[in-house]
Every structure is written in structure tokens, then in C-alpha cells.
Amino acid sequence: MTEDHQNHDEREAVVEGVGKAQASRRRFLQVLGAATATAATSQADAAPWEDFFQQHYKRLTDDEKRQIFARLEAQVQDKYGVAVRISDPKPIDGVEFAYALNLQACVGCRRCEYACAQENNTSRSPELHYIRVLQMDKGSLDVERSNTTYEGAVPTAEHYYQPVQCHQCRDAPCVRACPVNATWAEPDGIVVVDYNWCIGCRYCEAACPYFARRFNYEEPTVRPSEINPDQGYLSNRLRPRGVMEKCTYCLHRTRKGLMPACLEACPTGSRKFGNLLDPNSEVRQVIETKRVYILHEDAGTNPRFYYYFG
């Protein structure tokens, strides 16, 4: 046996050992958890244990997912008294989602922001919006000098408007920054977060050149009457405090063939969404025939979000 092989075998033995140790530790804690759960009177008391020991989304079997979704639905029922349905639509083969936004048509009315908040159950207080509309000076592309707090009548003669949300980058800095793999790009290009795996370190927020990630500093508050009951596990289900969240192109809608909520709300038709791999899709038509502008192209993130003129 060569030295290399020996090393390799040793390494494997070590890895196996670590795995066994972890497995036994996990079993121990699980037994402990189960014992506590049995001691506790209601099922709701057992939930924190199950929350704590829940595996990473990618390691879950379909059976485990069903159990987890049922538990999360029960938690929402307990806390808000609202019956929600948590689904997990899968990426569609041959589909890569992309967004195009017409800078000449957008009037900056912020209808998309509020439709997004409503659809995605984002916190109303503190107010958390995935989309940020920048009021830009005409003739300038300098986002640093943009205004995000404009009010009143729009559009003004001196400004144009540039809504910014998650760009679902092909080379996403947030994914690379995450120390625990709680965020990743799905096969259809959507960058998602496993809210139960996220440790809330906010490295991804710092890494994002579009300031597109949002952190729940406080317990998110949504009125029970305003909760959207159609929820996706990786998208708009109710988040706990201390986790990151972001735009997911409304994957619980778009993977079923629907348009994202922001697009449906836009009164100007400046938002275009579709399958980048379909040559007849609206986004492909935009990219092929219009002048397309990529925000922070120099950041090298290769986003799936395109601004265009006309």
C-alpha cells in the first residue's frame, strides 16, 4: 500500500469516526429530546426540540418534509389561528428564471413593494420589503446618490426609477459567504434560504452588492388577517426572528406557472418575467432586441436580473 492510500484510508477512518461520534451525539440528544417531549403535556412544547434537531433541507426525505411541513403548519395555527398550507414545489426541468425591468416605463409608485410584502408574509413592523425603489437623477447611473425615501406624485420630470431586489446571481456572493450552507442556488436559478438552518450571522447580507438580503432583527409581525396561506417552505412561509430572508421570485407561484406578485401588481408593465431558456419568452425577447443594462456588472455576480430601456 502506498503512502497516499494509507493517508487516504486514515482520513476516511477519521471522517467515519467523526460521523459516528456525531451520530451518537445526535442519538443521545434525540433520546433526551424525546424524553422531554414525553414529559411535556402538549405537542407544541415538543416543537422547539424538533425545530432544533431538524436536518438541512437537502438531507430531508420526502417523508421527513411532510412531517416538518405539518409541524410548521400546526405552529402557525397555534400562534396565529390561521390555517396555512406549506408546499414545496420543485424546480422545473429546462427552466431558468430571469427578470427584466423596463427603466423607461417604471414610474416608481412602489405598488410592487407592497404586493411583495403581502405575498411573502414579510414583517409589517418593523417594515421589511424585499424591493427597494431607487429614485435616480436623469442622466446618472450613480446608485449612491439615489433617493429611497421620496414621497408624493410620481414620476417627476427630473428622475427615473430603478427598483432593486434580489438578482438571483449565477455566481452569488451570498451563497459563497454562508458558513453553514443555509443558502444555495436551485437548478432553476433561484437562490433560496433554509430558514431553519440559517444561523443569522448576516455574512450574506454583507456580501450582497445589491443590498437585497433582509434580516429579521425582531420577531416579524404580520396580522393574522393578512397572512397569505399559500406558502412555500423555501419562500414565503412565516419566518422566525434572527434569520435572513430575500426575494425568491415568488417560487411558490412561479414554479406553478404563475407570475411573481410584483409583476402582477405593476401598473406600468415594466416588469417582465419568464424562462431564459425559452427563445419565445418575454425576457428572452427583451435580452435579444433591447439595450440591456446589468446593475453592478463589475461585481462579477452575473445576475439573472436585467434592466432595459424602451
Segment interacting with other proteins, rule: CB under 8 A, options 17-25, 105-113, 166-174, 188-196: 105-113
Segment interacting with other proteins, rule: CB under 8 A, options 178-186, 194-202, 235-243, 259-267: 259-267
What is the nearest approach in angstroms of other proteins to the Cβ of residue 79? 24
Q: Which of 286, 295, 304, 307 binds other proteins (CB under 8 A)?
A: 286
Q: Which is nearer to other proteins, 71 or 290 (CB)?
A: 290
Does 258 bind other proteins (CB under 8 A)? Our answer is: yes
Query: Counting every residue, how long is the chain?
Result: 310
d(CA 278, CA 205): 32
Q: What phi-psi label fits residue 242: left (phi over 0), alpha (psi between -120 and 50 degrees) or beta? A: left
Joined together, the cell numbers standing for residue 48 give 422547539
What lies within 8 Å, CB to CB, of 214 at 6+ separation is 122, 128, 129, 130, 205, 244, 245, 246
Does 111 bind other proteins (CB under 8 A)? Our answer is: yes
Does 268 bind other proteins (CB under 8 A)? Our answer is: yes
d(CA 153, CA 146): 17
Does 231 bind other proteins (CB under 8 A)? Our answer is: no
Does 275 bind other proteins (CB under 8 A)? Our answer is: yes
What is the nearest approach in angstroms of other proteins to the Cβ of residue 300? 26
Evaluate whether 239 touches 220 at the Cβ level (below 8 Å): yes
Does 179 bind other proteins (CB under 8 A)? Our answer is: no
Between CA 32 and CA 110, with CA 241 as vertex, the angle to 5 degrees is 155
Does 273 bind other proteins (CB under 8 A)? Our answer is: yes
| C-alpha distances in Å from residue 190, one per residue of 26, 92, 212, 268 | 32, 12, 13, 25
In the complex, the residues that contact other proteins under the rule CB under 8 A are 102, 105, 107-111, 113-114, 125-129, 132, 148-156, 254, 257-259, 263-264, 266-269, 272-275, 280-282, 285-286, 289-290, 308, 310
